[in-house]
Structure formats: C-alpha cells, structure tokens
Copies of this chain bind each other. A is one copy, B any other.
Amino acid sequence: MSTPAKPLTTVTRAGDSLIMPAFASAHSHAFQRALRGRTQRRQSQPGSFWSWRGLMYELVGKLSPADVFNISRFAFIELLLSGVSAVGEFHYLHHDLNGSPYDDRTLLADAVIAAAQEAGIRITLIRTAYFRGGHRKELEQAQHRFCDESVDLVLADVEKLRQTYQQEPTVRVGVAAHSIRAVPVEKVKELADYASAHDLPFHMHVAEQRQELAECLAEYGKPPVALLADRGILQESFVGIHATHLDETEILEMGRAKATVCLCRTTERDLGDGLPPTSALRQAGAKLCVGVDSHASSDAFEELRAIELDERSRTEGRVLVDEAPDLLSVGGEHGLTAIGMAGSSGDSVYLDGSDPALLDATEDSAIDAVVFAASPRAVRKVLVAGKSVVEEGRHPLYEKAAADFIGTLKKLQLA
C-alpha cells in the first residue's frame, strides 16, 4: 500500500478502517520509560516533581549506552503501536557515568537515533545543553552526565550529528537549552541564535514548576518567558515545553511571537505540574503541539484530548481550546513543524473501524470519535515514510525489543 499522496488532515473511512494522520510526539525522554510504574509510591512524604527527579537521577547514575539503546528502542516501538510516527527526543544524557565525555562524544545520541531507526520511527534528536545545577548551585552527581563546559562544545556535537545524519530521510537534528535553571540566559541566546541561523528547531523547558519561577525571579528579576522575550529568544521557531505557570504578560508574549507550546499532559498530570492556561495561549496566538515526555503513559490519544479536557477542568467550561479537527492538527502537523519535519507528513494510521470507540463514527463524527474516545487498542497499521511499520497491531521487532528491554531492567534491578 502506498503513502497517501497528500498530507492527511482529517479522518477518512476506507473499508473496515478509519485512516488518520499519524501523531507526532514533539517532546520525549525515552530513557525515562524505565521508570514507569516505579515512582508511584510514597517515600518519606506524598511526593513532588522534585522527589520524582531524585528517582530519575538514580536511574541516570546507572545507564550504559546499551541500556539507553534498549530502553529507547522499546519506548519507540510502544509509541508506534499508539499511532505515533515521529518523535522529538530532548536528549540531555551525553556523558559517561563519571561525567567525562565518551571518546566519541555523540555515542549516546547515536544510540538513541539507532534505536529510532530500528524501530522505524522518525526522530529529531534535539541535542540539549546543560551547564549548571541552578543559579549558584553546584552540580548534583547525576547532572555531570548532562553538562558541558561551553556552548562551543555543544554546537560541535550538533554539527557532527547534522553531518552524520544528513542523508538519513527520517532523522533530523535540533538544539535545546534544558531550562533557565540549567542554562544562563546569555548561553540560551547563543544556542537559539545558532538554531535560528541554521533553521533548526529550538526547544526549552519553561515554567514547568513554580520553583523555577522563584529562582528565575531571584536571578534575573523576571519570570522565564518574560526574560526570554526580553532577550529576543521568543520567536516563531521557539518551542516552549510545558509553559504551565505563565503570567498574563507572558501569555501575550508567547502569542505575539507565534511561539509553540508543547504540552505533555500525561506526564504533567503524573508529575503534578499543574494546569496550563491553554485557551488563553491559543487566543493570544501561540501554537500547540504534544509530547510523551517521561513516557509515564504512551496513549497518544489521551495525550491529545487531555489538552482540551484539562482546560475544561481548570475553567469549568466546554470546547475551549479547539474542536476535534484542530486538535488533530495539534497532534500531528504542528508537532512535525515543531521538530523540523514540516512537509514530511503523509504518515498515516489505520484504525480498526469496528473498535467499540469507533464503530458508530459517521463521516461527520469520525474526527470527534478518534480524538475524544479512541485508544491504542484501535491501532492496526502505521505507515511511516511510505513503509508499513505496524501491521495488524503488531511490530515485527516487538519480541526482540521487549526481551532486550527486560534484560536491561533486570541489570538495573528494576525487574
């Protein structure tokens, strides 16, 4: 079966199937898939983003390149089985266990890209810069694996990755500053300028947790998005991850810049990040896309509808952010643009038209059924770059990838 000639923007019926555009998940940390189901108990107290981060750092302290490959390959296959054909990997795990760069500095980035290529998912490797534990904060042990001494070292890695993968049709490279906590604003600006000059995606975690606001105010006298606007970093190519806690001025700044907000609601729900001002961002002119982030869940359908549903919970109204056709673009096309893959749409997902959530879909209601009620159960076939990667709800590498994933978890004493 050949790829549809035009980019899909709607849901169509073909025989027993509904065909939808594939999802693009613009923000992923694939290695965190190993933590799923293992951070849900109370430690000394109920818990927070920060106690979760402690568990994540424990994992970071143990991962070998083979572990990163095995976890990532399985996570990407799981995404494909949920209808995702493209992922933006926000990659900040760079160096060896002791914090020294590997002889081959991009060893771990290459491992993640190889995992994506074996799985058959498109990937944008977003090479992420990290310089410090926070304003005047020493690095914590795990953070040495993330850190570089200079922007030049980061950009040299980006250059190398661009060179290595320039002929690969399903691989792109992007640039990120981890957060204002981890990257002083002058360096954020250098990275953003490089990305802009080379037409690469530029991503950054912003305003995920209130503690970041307090720290940013203390260091710069402004909250993060206001600071970025002030320094000319907030542009149309800017992709802010989370953007949960913005003041009204910052919402307007995001809109004025036509910047993109990448919402990762299943992770944000899991981590207790709070509820973003989503409809205000849309009304201001910001664009939206979605990301699987920590892989706490990999239900791309729930990830997408959560944007609208959580805004309903926050504001006690209905149909606030977007109707289903626009949400479908948020789930696919806008995510592709955010990871530098605009124009590579055409990937499609064949859904089982007899699935209980879909069998009553009409031409009029099909998009609504897909967006508001479907689940990975309905995914039968996924076409990526014209090639069928999932067939009859199964991925040909599943058993092998699952066994290697379990092997890694056992080695890490997580299984």
Residues on A facing B (Cβ under 8 Å): 36-38, 40-42, 46-49, 51-52, 74, 77-78, 81, 210, 268-275, 296-299, 302, 309-310, 312-320, 323-324, 354, 356-357, 359-362, 365, 368-369, 371-373, 375-377, 402, 405-406, 409, 414-415
Q: How far is the CA of A259 from the CA of B402 in the complex (A)?
A: 45
Q: How far is the CA of A268 from the CA of B302 in the complex (A)?
A: 15
Residue of B whose beta carbon sits closest to that of A310: B313
Q: How far is the CA of A274 from the CA of B268 in the complex (A)?
A: 18
Contact check, A41 vs B323: say whether CB atoms are below 8 A apart. Answer: yes
Contact check, A37 vs B297: say whether CB atoms are below 8 A apart. Answer: no
Q: How far is the CA of A400 from the CA of B365 in the complex (A)?
A: 22
Question: In the assembly, how many copies of this chain are there?
Answer: 2
Q: How far is the CA of A368 from the CA of B42 in the complex (A)?
A: 12
What are 6 A-B residue pairs whose CB atoms fall within 8 Å in the complex? A37-B365, A42-B323, A268-B313, A272-B316, A272-B317, A273-B313
Contact check, A415 vs B77: say whether CB atoms are below 8 A apart. Answer: no
Which one of B46, B47, B406 lies within 8 Å of A360 (CB-CB)? B406
Contact check, B272 vs A36: say whether CB atoms are below 8 A apart. Answer: no
Instruction: Collect the chain B residues with CB atoms within 8 Å of residue A313's CB.
Output: 268-269, 272-275, 310, 313
Instruction: Collect the chain B residues with CB atoms within 8 Å of residue A78's CB.
Output: 356-357
Of the listed residues A37, A51, A314, A315, the one surrounded by the most CB atoms of chain B closer than 10 A to its CB is A37
